[in-house]
Structure 1
């Protein structure tokens, strides 16, 4: 037996295909493991060894019995986010609390100066006040003292409470006032300052404090000052309760870092401001294509981001930073929750941002280093194969029912590769930044999640609402019933439905909102990159000249991506579907299979 292994090192997974070259080409087995380290770096070797070991065990041979190992040319891709306008929300002369506690009391809007509960006896009867109550005072004492103050004619228009007693205190008051509780940093609330408290009815959201003109009315702001409170009002949109307090001038400083400009270098040089948005950036990119390199304006957000990409790649590939060239970018409009400067309960505001995926071109040196180390570890000859997209075409052609001419879309974790093979077998390919990992990043940032794996699960699996302990309603409206009761901790929660478990989503976003964010993220990355890639490789750059598109790679297994891409391509009369490599692997293993086929053909002079 003459056994050859093809190894595809991807951003997310490493795949292996092993074939016997003795008589004809016969594929024997395959395997897949999680990629170790960043794609295209020496850390990949550990994952390759695991994948080879698993595949070899399937056919009961040691790795050393392989005649050759063919690895792909792995190009690293890094995704990062550049803020459009600011890194810290601008708030001048104001502090806010808008953390949406579960148990606010009362209803309505109240304004007045902030005073501690102990100071109520010193207040003049005609002065409107917002009472601040620390956790050290129990709810019964607080309610009793507030009622006594009401009888004395003191105008208490609202309350801010450190504990979670908002409803209990409200139920004991002779006069209903809006009460916001669970304010952890109550000691930071400035005293004697004008404040406004708003609590909406159950099921509704606040209207006054989430409106910049409402804030202007309450605090008698000038037009210039109103501009500065926009971040506050935006941060409070959708909350049931909120507090805004005006602080002494200079108490909260503003710091602005400009978004900066991208400098795109290709057939000519173009400068484009990040604040102009993703469409303008991508239009500017098309005017200079093919891209040779990208830099960012010094001292700006985007300048820092681009240099960070270079620095990381320089360290990982052991190359000088000036040798690292960015050969493609994908810009996508998004929102980023930014911590509000001046907040007292870790408030966040959604800021416009531009997410950038940058594809870095390195020399062949890193792949040669990987090949050398792998050869040393296995004592097997290691060869660096061709361009990923070209190898994927050869693998895709093993899908039953396919023939030349054909286009493949290899949608991986970090990049979208596309290749066109004509009737004569000539292949034209293109490699674009941005794929599955960028979608995960967008979901994570827009939902304000801390857990990357949770965002990955939201991307990959359908959502549901647990309506009772015996049934859930899926995002498409269908209902599923259970014989045994679900875990009580899942009751009334939004969950991700995986094969063997349900994972609760720890956000207050509605099921529909999470679904919209997920689908928009996929559309912004996958559909945009699909159209971009096909235009680049189609004859005469006309999508209508393409008849068949085969989707390969991990993202082709997604429960909605193939349908989204197919719907978009149907406008151009293109037939699109997921591949089935060798009639057995589904859309997986295309590149690994292609590497083996390519080596087989080279040995026979094809």
Structure 2
């Protein structure tokens, strides 16, 4: 007679199941994996658990009711959010700036002059330089003819601002080439009769004058005090192929500062506080000083205060606890950039502002897990037990990786947290949880590249990049070229793509270069994973000395990543540690460590005298 036990690992991203027969010896029969339903550690997880159990039972032709017991992990919910560093918003009164990368700017160089409408060119007699504003209702042929007439009448037209996307075709018809910025959607917001400058760089290059504060000072004859105020404008235009800056009558600039606020860290023995704009390094040093952490709050009425209260509120609602009972047990701070809309822009301009991303791990009582166990028991009619701390059971699962032995450290890199555990030669286990993992990396990629699309950011995190060089070949980010016998989709031509498989490529709808996307992806992973791994090893290795550890095994979804294991191995190589992705039970790869460990722990509690099969 078989006695089936199921181990269930509820993760932030996936729910995994392992089923074994424990009647005589421990014999694993099957496993399954599904997407986690709801936030980890909440009642919404039950739907996903039942689905995963159903899939696994189907594999070995049994019903869920045939299981003897279900062991679930103690799932700590983790939420990550972004808190902004101090932002200076620059508002140019009664005026505007345009700095975007239209696909079709015309001409090149810089033109300075007063803004006038195309219709006003005919009656002009003055010799002062002008910049012509051309609305969409004027077709390219008419626009080119009128500009050519102006040149014949010796009117000094130095540049043009166009609402449509006709920059190149207007320029091709002109007797004298001038810089033309097109695709300016809100052309009606461009103030007339004001001094302006238009710059277009040659193909493959970026503007030099308007992205330089001293260039702006030269063009607009600014005083040193006024030059200080144009720094945010210049910074917003860096890297653009074209730009327009228009000066107001008074050159009036207003600033509005949004306070980022102070972070208050409450340790068991001492308390620390510092402004979030101090940056991630200072925050993490302060955290180390007050460790172990009891709770974290933010200054009321500020960005960080609002963010931490939001985390607490969400967790309180999800776990049916009073907000005061929800404590933050760990945070991870990471420096990043967030695109902020430039006030006064008329083509949707953004500038990158410094920000601090915070992942917060919330400590809740055992109550939510007990509620999950109860609900699961009611739905399956099978006894459910909470099988222990995630990292502790993951160690047992990791030891089924061929070639490993004690003392060993596991790093379980999940979606929301990095769980680590150390098992000594004698079998004593020490574990720790740290906030921040895969979901935080996705969030950083999404914000730094300004994607506004988390699923695209997730794909950028998980798969390599390539440039489609022709309809029959792509060049991977590492330089390797891959040729195809059949023609690729013409919509991919000359695009940067994510290569999910040989036949599935997703175009990346940004103007960032492949080098920039790769750099952001790798830096985001290093900021989160490498930082957390250093923290984990320092906390759990004997005497905080990583050299006392022989084996480090990476488990969890992120260990399947195409570059994370290599990054971590590089970081640990100078300690003489054997580090690599786990291969649970010799067949599962880095997946299923916790689910497998839950079953092993249950088997050992039944047969303390028997060794594992």
- The answer for the alignment partner of 1:464 in structure 2 is 466
Deviation at 1:268, TM superposition (A): 0.7
Q: 1:308 to 1:227 in 2, by over 3 A?
A: farther
Deviation at 1:478, TM superposition (A): 0.9
Inter-partner Cα distance in structure 1 for 2:508 and 2:550: 41
Equivalent positions of 1:174-323 (< 5 A) are: 174-247=175-248, 254-266=255-267, 267-323=269-325
- The answer for the alignment partner of 1:383 in structure 2 is 385
Deviation at 1:155, TM superposition (A): 1.9
> Residue 338 of structure 2 contacts residue 354 of structure 2 at CA under 8 Å; is this kept in 1?
yes
Equivalent positions of 1:383-402 (< 5 A) are: 383-402=385-404
Inter-partner Cα distance in structure 1 for 2:248 and 2:311: 40
Deviation at 1:304, TM superposition (A): 1.2
> Residue 405 of structure 2 contacts residue 551 of structure 2 at CA under 8 Å; is this kept in 1?
no
Inter-partner Cα distance in structure 1 for 2:64 and 2:12: 24
Deviation at 1:437, TM superposition (A): 0.6
Deviation at 1:225, TM superposition (A): 2.6
**SS state at 2:74 partner:** coil
Inter-partner Cα distance in structure 2 for 1:506 and 1:50: 35
- The answer for the alignment partner of 2:515 in structure 1 is 512
**SS state at 2:81 partner:** strand
> Residue 91 of structure 1 contacts residue 231 of structure 1 at CA under 8 Å; is this kept in 2?
no
Inter-partner Cα distance in structure 2 for 1:375 and 1:122: 86
**SS state at 1:441 partner:** helix
- The answer for the alignment partner of 2:74 in structure 1 is 73
> Residue 252 of structure 1 contacts residue 341 of structure 1 at CA under 8 Å; is this kept in 2?
no
Q: 1:566 aligns with which of 561, 565, 569?
A: 569
| Residues 277-299 of structure 1, C-alpha deviations (whole Å, 9 max, x = no match) | 11111011100001111011112
- The answer for the alignment partner of 2:8 in structure 1 is 7
Deviation at 1:229, TM superposition (A): 2.0
- The answer for the alignment partner of 2:89 in structure 1 is 89
**SS state at 1:498 partner:** strand
- The answer for the alignment partner of 2:579 in structure 1 is 576
Q: 1:312 to 1:228 in 2, by over 3 A?
A: farther
Answering whether residue 129 of structure 2 is matched by residue 128 of structure 1, we say yes
- The answer for the alignment partner of 1:593 in structure 2 is 596
**SS state at 1:385 partner:** strand
**SS state at 1:90 partner:** strand
Q: 1:360 aligns with which of 343, 359, 362?
A: 362
Inter-partner Cα distance in structure 2 for 1:442 and 1:169: 41
Inter-partner Cα distance in structure 2 for 1:414 and 1:567: 23
| Residues 199-232 of structure 1, C-alpha deviations (whole Å, 9 max, x = no match) | 1111111001111221122222233332332222
| Residues 154-198 of structure 1, C-alpha deviations (whole Å, 9 max, x = no match) | 221111000111111112222221110111111111112221100
Q: 1:602 to 1:524 in 2, by over 3 A?
A: same
Inter-partner Cα distance in structure 1 for 2:252 and 2:366: 55
> Residue 211 of structure 2 contacts residue 235 of structure 2 at CA under 8 Å; is this kept in 1?
yes
Inter-partner Cα distance in structure 2 for 1:249 and 1:409: 60
- The answer for the alignment partner of 2:554 in structure 1 is 551
Q: 2:409 aligns with which of 407, 410, 426?
A: 407
> Residue 125 of structure 1 contacts residue 152 of structure 1 at CA under 8 Å; is this kept in 2?
no
| Residues 350-409 of structure 1, C-alpha deviations (whole Å, 9 max, x = no match) | 111111111010111111111111111111111111110001001001111111111101
Larger CA deviation: 51-60 vs 116-125: 116-125
Inter-partner Cα distance in structure 1 for 2:224 and 2:382: 73
Larger CA deviation: 578-587 vs 248-257: 248-257
- The answer for the alignment partner of 1:116 in structure 2 is 117
Inter-partner Cα distance in structure 1 for 2:471 and 2:420: 46
Inter-partner Cα distance in structure 2 for 1:229 and 1:300: 26
**SS state at 1:72 partner:** strand
Inter-partner Cα distance in structure 2 for 1:435 and 1:224: 45
Q: 1:342 aligns with which of 333, 341, 344?
A: 344
Q: 1:174 to 1:311 in 2, by over 3 A?
A: same
Larger CA deviation: 46-55 vs 235-244: 235-244
Deviation at 1:578, TM superposition (A): 0.8
Structure 1, unmatched stretches of 5+, are none
- Root mean square deviation, CA, Å: 1.4
**SS state at 1:292 partner:** strand
> Residue 91 of structure 1 contacts residue 229 of structure 1 at CA under 8 Å; is this kept in 2?
no
Larger CA deviation: 457-466 vs 168-177: 168-177
Deviation at 1:604, TM superposition (A): 2.7
> Residue 210 of structure 1 contacts residue 235 of structure 1 at CA under 8 Å; is this kept in 2?
yes
Q: 1:603 aligns with which of 572, 587, 606?
A: 606
**SS state at 1:597 partner:** helix
Q: 1:440 aligns with which of 436, 439, 442?
A: 442
Deviation at 1:248, TM superposition (A): 5.3
Deviation at 1:331, TM superposition (A): 0.7
Deviation at 1:153, TM superposition (A): 2.5
TM-score normalised by length of structure 2: 0.97
Deviation at 1:249, TM superposition (A): 5.7
**SS state at 1:196 partner:** strand
Answering whether residue 535 of structure 2 is matched by residue 537 of structure 1, we say no
Equivalent positions of 1:146-157 (< 5 A) are: 146-157=147-158
- The answer for the alignment partner of 1:40 in structure 2 is 41
Count of matched residue positions in the alignment of Structure 1 and Structure 2: 605
Q: 1:250 to 1:295 in 2, by over 3 A?
A: farther
**SS state at 1:275 partner:** helix
- The answer for the alignment partner of 1:370 in structure 2 is 372
Deviation at 1:149, TM superposition (A): 1.8
> Residue 100 of structure 2 contacts residue 241 of structure 2 at CA under 8 Å; is this kept in 1?
no
Structure 2, unmatched stretches of 5+, are none
Q: 1:122 to 1:268 in 2, by over 3 A?
A: farther
| Residues 319-358 of structure 1, C-alpha deviations (whole Å, 9 max, x = no match) | 1111111100111111111111111011110111111111
> Residue 104 of structure 1 contacts residue 199 of structure 1 at CA under 8 Å; is this kept in 2?
yes
Deviation at 1:256, TM superposition (A): 2.1
